[in-house]
Structure 1
């Protein structure tokens, strides 16, 4: 069964946002004066943690983003609170967020940008290592030349030209190898980019679990239908994250298997299919994951929590999103 239109499917409303207010906004325009100035930044650490940085003072403070509003003296439910809770989602798309920075367009519903140079180079490096076996004389020479070529948009043409001028290989043969490998490298780089830009699923999962715990322990809510719904979706909240990881692993496995230069066209098509599935997954879940991250387990209006539960259940019913990679 085909997927519905992701842009119009089951609209998601962020908690605490007025019906006529556009959210996410255009910029991280915090109102708190202590969150002003370009000397401050939020970054993602090596292990995925959120790091609060004062650049000129060489201060790096690891933040528990779920409780960071208390450390930064930001009232729960305020606009600054909602901006702060957008930071982890933004850091899936950019390297750092400083006060006043624009909110990444992808977080506001725009398409993903093209892969960055480092992703294209990482994909090319992986391909050179994977395709060396059974490459033949011409293929081996091309891969060796590519390995010695500085990264850049024209690295495939430069490597082919080197093989022609220095190795005496035929133009047609080298041009075909360069075109096929460039297409495959681009396709794999797009997989890497779509994987890196997946929504903040971990933040969503934590908030679903925390909200479930609060309602189940509350005598006034533990028997309510909302508490029952949360108990149902809590163990299922990991589904999109696990699907995204399985797709990434499958894309890498294609290159680690019996990949050859002769199969570049077929592999590029297979990588493009994985990319499309990762992009679809991100579009369906990005706004909802960010909205769940904006929940305060104790204070968010229960009607808004109920709406987010319904949003999640509707997405989990889209079985085509989660089929085997």
Structure 2
């Protein structure tokens, strides 16, 4: 666990220190492609999982519109699922999956980030949020064209054709020349797309807080077991507890930088530099996500009292090696 690579250039995240989920058999592929539970009560038609606003799992049962809320650590107890089993490990993937999609039903596909697939296309919510930021900025800038475009966008439904429709309104109703409005609208659309990708990358970051809670719970369980007091594994967990918040803080700082950049004064007629900044910040968030998604999900598969200590030791090594990648946590500016 003392292996601590420090590099100036990030290694290939796909092959870097592969993560093995606790409890998986040798050669077993995990996560599986779909949420195929084995217990019959977890395969009932109409049952879905949703994320509660407090961060717990919301379980919606098909009868009488019953909704049951439970946190991640105790969900398997509520559902009578033995720790370490296939359904236990699959259930522990649900909160991470709900960071990528609105709900999970039995048999649904496991979201791409958990399978280390390429990012999925932008959804409407991120594009709408990015466009709202841009409209606010347009309205605050001097310039008749910018104000007119902002006003037209307020009355245009969000979607892929939003900019084209708003520009058409400015030309046909406002009398602005196409030679001015069309290039401006195109550049602003590129900027909105770039910022929307930042928001999407931030929204699908791993569940860092849940990983941190599980790591602390595991450290506490070992501290209460005299067999492990003061051994190398306990010391590794002590070191991790002090550092494990670094990816969460870096993710939050990168998003804050992207949002601050969108608020800084900049001639919107030439937003090339801002587009480049947003693209770079999005790439940084994707790097974080790819390095930590699988490991964060693997930590959530730990049951502190029963998980094999060799599996915990491997996860500690994975985390320490990732925390040693200094370029992953450098902030802009």
TM tier, smaller: over 0.9
Which runs of structure 2 are paired with 1:89-100 in the superposition (5 Å)? 89-100=96-107
1:46 aligns with 2:50: no
In structure 2, the gaps of 5 or more residues are 1-7
**TM-fit CA distance, 1:46:** 2.3
Name the structure 2 match of 1:168: 175
State how far apart, in whole Å, the 2-side matches of 1:168 and 1:262 are: 19
1:189-213 CA-to-partner distances (Å, cap 9, x unmatched) read 0011000000111221111101101
> Which of structures 1 and 2 has the larger relative contact order (alpha carbons within 8 angstroms, sep 6+)?
2
Q: Are the structure 2 counterparts of residues 264 and 135 from structure 1 closer, same or farther at C-alpha, using a change threshold of 3 Å?
A: farther
The equivalent of 1:210 in structure 2 is 217
2:297 corresponds to 1:290: yes
Q: Displacement, 1:250?
A: 1.2
Structure 2 Cα separation of the partners of residues 66 and 54 of structure 1: 20
| Count of matched residue pairs | 325
Q: 2:18 aligns with which of 7, 11, 14?
A: 11
> Which deviations, in whole Å up to 9, do the C-alpha atoms of 1:219-241 show, x marking residues without a partner?
11012100011011012111111
Question: What is the CA distance between 1:260 and its match in structure 2?
Answer: 4.0
Matched, 1:138 2:145: yes
Give the CA deviation at 1:55. Answer: 4.6
* Length-normalised TM-score, structure 2: 0.95
SS at structure 2 position matched to 1:42: strand
Paired residues of 2:215 and 2:299 also in contact (CA < 8 A): yes
Aligned to 2:4: none
Does residue 187 of the first structure (1) align with residue 187 of the second (2)? no
Q: Is the 8 A contact 1:82 1:294 kept in 2?
A: yes
- Per the TM alignment, residue 283 of structure 1 is displaced from its structure 2 partner at its CA by 0.1
> Quick one: distance in 1 between partners of 2:173 and 2:29?
59
8 Å contact kept, 1:135–1:260: no
Question: Mean alpha-carbon deviation: is it higher for 286-295 or for 265-274?
Answer: 265-274
